[in-house]
Amino acid sequence: MRDSASSALEGSIDAVVFDYDDTLVDTFRARVEAMRLTFAEVGLLYDPTEFVETTRGSPFQRAFDEISDAPGWKPDLMDVYRRHYWSKEPGFIYLFDGVREMLDALKQRGMPMGMLTSKAHDILIEGRRAGAVVEAEELGIDGHFPHIVGFEDVAHHKPHPEGLERLMARLGATPDRTLVVGDSWSDVEVAKNGGCWSCLATWGLDDPTEQTSRATPDFIVETPAQLLSLLA
C-alpha cells in the first residue's frame, strides 16, 4: 500500500472514476433517516445507523434481498426505501469540504472524470425524477460528470468491474492509466478487478480500518487536496 505523502502518480493517469456516496457527497444522514422510516413502515427492528454502516460498499439491494428471502415476506424494501430517500428536502445532502474545489481543479486540468455508484442513475419515483444525476444537478457538479454508471445500468455491481469497464470505454481510458477513488473496500476491489489504480478516500469515514481490513488500496488520501497532489 502506498500513500499520497510518500508517492505520486506524476501525470500517469488519464481518467479518474469516483464513487458517489460518502466520497463526493455526504449522504449518510439522509440514508440513515430513509432507512429508519423504511424499517418503521415495515416493522423491522434493525438499527438504521448500524445497517447503513455495515453495508458500506454494497448495494442496499443485496441486504434487502437477504431479508426478503424470509418466508411470507411481502414488502419490496428497495421500493419503500427509495420512496423515503427521494422525498427528502433539498439541502439534506452536501459536498464534503474541498470536493468542489478538487473537481473544479481536475476539470480545469482537462482530466476526464466518471462516476460509478451503487445508487440509481436516473429513475422515476412516484412520477418524479430521482437518482445520482438529480443530486449531482442539485449540488452543481453535473457538469463534471457527463458519464455516470448507476445501479440500474449494469447487471453486475461493485466489486464486479462491469460498470468500471463501461466507464473506461466512454472516457477513452485504459486500466493502467485509470484511478478509482472511493470510500469503501468495494471501490478498492473494483479497481483491482478492472486492472486500475485504487485510492481510498477517508474524509467521509470515522474509521477507515474496517475498509482497509477488507481490501488494500494503492493509495490513501485524507482530504481532497491530497488527492489533487497525488495527481499532480
User: Within this chain, do residues 19 and 35 fall inside the same structural domain, yes or no?
Assistant: no
> Which residues constitute the domain of residue 102?
15-27+94-230
C-alpha cell at 169: 470505454
| Residues contacting residue 229 through CB under 8 Å, at least 6 positions apart | 4, 8
User: Within this chain, do residues 101 and 196 fall inside the same structural domain, yes or no?
Assistant: yes
Answer yes or no: is 5 within a domain. Answer: no
In order of 178, 188, 209, 220, the CA distances from 197 in angstroms are 6, 8, 20, 11
User: Within this chain, do residues 72 and 103 fall inside the same structural domain, yes or no?
Assistant: no
What's the pLDDT at 98?
99
Look at the chain and report how many structural domains it folds into.
2
Q: How far apart are the first and last CA of the chain?
A: 19
User: Within this chain, do residues 145 and 191 fall inside the same structural domain, yes or no?
Assistant: yes
User: Within this chain, do residues 112 and 206 fall inside the same structural domain, yes or no?
Assistant: yes
Instruction: Count the alpha carbons within 13 Å of 173 in the hemisphere toward its beta carbon.
Output: 28
Answer yes or no: is 175 within a domain. Answer: yes
What's the pLDDT at 195?
98
Domain boundary pick from 66, 85, 104: 85
Domain boundary pick from 85, 102, 120: 85
d(CA 217, CA 198): 5
Answer yes or no: is 48 within a domain. Answer: yes
Answer yes or no: is 4 within a domain. Answer: no
Answer yes or no: is 81 within a domain. Answer: yes
C-alpha cell at 44: 423491522
What's the pLDDT at 4?
42
User: Within this chain, do residues 118 and 212 fall inside the same structural domain, yes or no?
Assistant: yes
| Residues contacting residue 142 through CB under 8 Å, at least 6 positions apart | 133, 136
Which pTM does this prediction carry?
0.93
User: Within this chain, do residues 74 and 162 fall inside the same structural domain, yes or no?
Assistant: no
Could you report the per-residue pLDDT of 86-134, keeping only the tens digit for each? 998 888 999 999 999 999 999 999 999 999 999 999 999 999 999 999 9
pLDDT, one tens digit for every residue, the chain (232 residues): 554 444 668 679 999 999 999 999 999 999 999 999 999 999 999 999 999 999 998 889 888 888 776 655 667 899 999 999 999 888 899 999 999 999 999 999 999 999 999 999 999 999 999 999 999 999 999 999 999 999 999 999 999 999 999 999 999 999 999 999 999 999 999 999 999 999 999 999 999 999 999 999 999 999 999 999 999 8
C-alpha cell at 55: 453495508
